[in-house]
Structure 1
Amino acid sequence: MEKLDSIIFYNIDKAIRTYRNYAQRQLKANGFNITIDQWLIIKAILENPGITQNEIGDLAFKDNASVTRIIELLVKSEYIIRNINSDDRRKTNLDVTESGKEIIKKVQKLIENNRKTALKDVTKEELEIMNSALLKISKNCLNAKK
């Protein structure tokens, strides 16, 4: 019987969860009142003007209910605002406020340091191979016949 730590997908998931927990602890330790998921969603809105909630969910790997909940918190924290879509009043546009842009800027340096810590002793060649392999895995799963 194979051991968990010999299963590549277990190790990928473990690495991601360990990194996210570490990154979240760093945010809290440095006095930021924002979660990794909130940061991801602000960043997605900032980088993709006019993005829909479904598209945000796809980018952040979150279901619609989670995205809605996070957006509510971000509106309450005044990091984003909702504006009525001028073409379709049933839709809203999400925009990042100045304080939202500011928190992204402030957190960016910490995020870069977190990545540096996580990738310590991983060579550029190893990163390129790993990135290529992960992209192939994603492509294989997306293109798999049901």
Structure 2
Amino acid sequence: MEKLNSIIFYHIDKAIRSYRNYAQRQLKANGFTITIDQWLIIKAVLENPGITQNEIGDLVFKDNASVTRIIDLMVKSAYVIRTTHAEDRRKTNLEVTESGIKIIKDVQKLVEGNRKTALQNVSKEELEIMNNALLKISENCKKN
């Protein structure tokens, strides 16, 4: 039986979790109360006007209950306004508020710094190879 530390998917998951934990610590250390997940969802809504909660979940890899819970917190924090869809009451419209836009802009430099730190000593060639390999893995899993 192979050991965990010899399985590529173990290392992918470990890298993702390490980065997310690092990024969250940086947000907190810099006085931000927003979470990585909240930042991702606000960003998704800004980049995709009219996006549904299900589509947000697919985009940020969260289940519907988690997305609903995160949006509830963002509504309380006044980062997002949720209104009922005019034609289908089962749907909601999400709109990012001025304070939501401001927090995205304020956090952006920190996010860029986090990425730079995480990618230290990783060459452009290594990044390109890794990106291509990850895209192939994703496509293989969609096919089957």
TM-score band by shorter chain is: over 0.9
Matched pairs, number? 144
Runs of 4+ in 1 over 4 A off after TM superposition: none
Unaligned stretches of 5+ in structure 1? Answer: none
Please state whether the residue corresponding to 1:67 is helix, strand or coil.
helix
Paired residues of 2:38 and 2:74 also in contact (CA < 8 A): yes
The within-5 A match list for 1:41-80 is: 41-80=41-80
- Measured after TM superposition, the shift of residue 5 of structure 1 is 1.4
2:39 maps to 1:39? yes
Corresponding residue number in structure 2 for 1:81: 81
The within-5 A match list for 1:1-146 is: 1-144=1-144
- Kindly provide the CA deviation profile for residues 45-93 of structure 1, in whole angstroms up to 9, marking residues without a partner as x: 0100000000000001000000000000000000000122223234220
Please state whether the residue corresponding to 2:34 is helix, strand or coil.
coil
Whole-Å separation in 2 of the counterparts to 1:134 and 1:89: 39
- Quote the RMSD (CA, aligned, Å): 0.8
TM-score normalised by structure 2 residue count: 0.97
- Kindly provide the CA deviation profile for residues 18-41 of structure 1, in whole angstroms up to 9, marking residues without a partner as x: 000000000000000010000000
TM-score normalised by structure 1 residue count: 0.96
- Measured after TM superposition, the shift of residue 129 of structure 1 is 0.3
Whole-Å separation in 1 of the counterparts to 2:22 and 2:46: 24
Unaligned stretches of 5+ in structure 2? Answer: none
Q: Which amino acid aligns with 1:4?
A: L
Paired residues of 2:52 and 2:91 also in contact (CA < 8 A): no
